Amino acid sequence: MITDTTPAPAPAAAAPATPPSPSPSRQGRRSPAAERRRRRAAEVWREFSRHRSGLIGLAGLLIVVALALLAPVLAPSTLLLATEATLPPNQPPSAEAPLGTDPAGRSVLVMLLWGARISLLVGFAATAVSMVIGTTVGMAAGHFRGFGQSALLRVIDFFLVLPSLVLAIVLSTVLERGVFTIVIAIGVTSWAATARLVRSQTLTVEARPYIERAWALGAGHAHVLGRHVLPAVLPLVLANTTLTVGSAIIAESTLAFLGLGDPTQVSWGTMLKTALDTGAATAGYWWYVLPPGLAIVLVVLCFTLVGRALEAVVNPTLRSR
């Protein structure tokens, strides 16, 4: 039987080319996996930290997220109420309001701080919606064959070419106004690119012989998708997510600018909308036009830098150095 086999290994086969650290046989099952994951994480971090622009982006994001989270501590929400405003309207930057005041006499800096919360929230939530749809549809379109596949492909292609902003505009018009509507409108119109990416990665993975081996071992769809395809697709999705958050923030501000935002919430997009509507823009009140726009550019740029660095780490062939 198997145990009786006395191995007579040829010299070259006696040990791994790079011997892994010997581990006690009893715990040799789970702990190396955890250890490996830790090592892999450290490796990813080391690779990532080689991209200076990625590090800058990450630092920028951490600061913005921290500020957004701390907004209630730094500036109480009552400062946002137009009725409570004590400062004169449309005032240039001063000691009390470092970025001046808006047409209602509120501090632009405070609004900027609170606006970050909505912009980031919409960005993240819409991206989550888009990622879930994109990953599911993409994996299904790459995995299954026959009619279902061609139907899914058609749908992906359709949403890929569709003018997504126009559809998002339409959706936000016919649905009830609110943050939730914006999230849905952006989420359901922006998943196709992810789906395409995931599908092509799924096809690449499934063309690998180890999938054939899994089938021959007796695997079912759930096993192949869950154990082999999903882990291979996720890193790419993660990198893609970072890029999508940026686009979602721009989309949010655009919808708000077109007057489709939630009028009860302050976001960077609604600030710009008010600037335009109240004539602040044409009157030369630059302190109300520049900061929200610059904030958007900065945050989107940070997400883009991090996303590109992640992409280069996850898929080195994608963007050869």
How many angstroms separate the Cα of 49 from the Cα of each of 41, 54, 66, 105? Answer: 12, 7, 21, 44
Tell me which stretch binds another protein (CB under 8 A): 69-77, 82-90, 92-100, 224-232: 224-232
Nearer to another protein among residue 77 and residue 204 (C-beta):
204
- Does 284 engage in binding with another protein (CB under 8 A)? yes
Among 90, 101, 130, 254, binds another protein (CB under 8 A): 254
Q: What are phi and psi of 171, to 5 degrees?
A: -60, -45
Contact 292, 115 (CB under 8 A): yes
Binding mask 19-58 for another protein (x = CB under 8 A): xxxxxxxx-xx--xx-xx---------x---x--------
Task: Determine contact, residues 191/199, Cβ cutoff 8 Å.
Answer: no
Nearer to another protein among residue 121 and residue 211 (C-beta)? 211
> Radius of gyration over alpha carbons of the chain, in Å?
26
User: 229, 248, 231: which is closest to 300 by C-alpha?
Assistant: 248
Residues 59, 62, 69, 297: which binds another protein (CB under 8 A)?
297
Looking at beta carbons only, is 81 or 160 nearer to another protein? 160
Residue 120 CB, nearest approach to another protein (Å): 15
**Within 110-139, which residues bind another protein (CB under 8 A)?**
none
- Based on the number of CB atoms within 10 Å of its own CB, is 26 exposed (0-12), middle (13-18) or buried (19 or more)? exposed
Which amino acid appears at position 106 of this protein?
Answer: R
Per-residue x/- track, 140-179, another protein (CB under 8 A) = --------------xx-xx-xxxxxxxx-xxx-xxx----
Write out the two tokens for 42.
């450290």
Structure token pair of residue 218: 């007796």
**Nearer to another protein among residue 87 and residue 230 (C-beta):** 230
Binding mask 180-209 for another protein (x = CB under 8 A): ----------------------------xx
Which residue carries 């004169």 as its tokens?
88
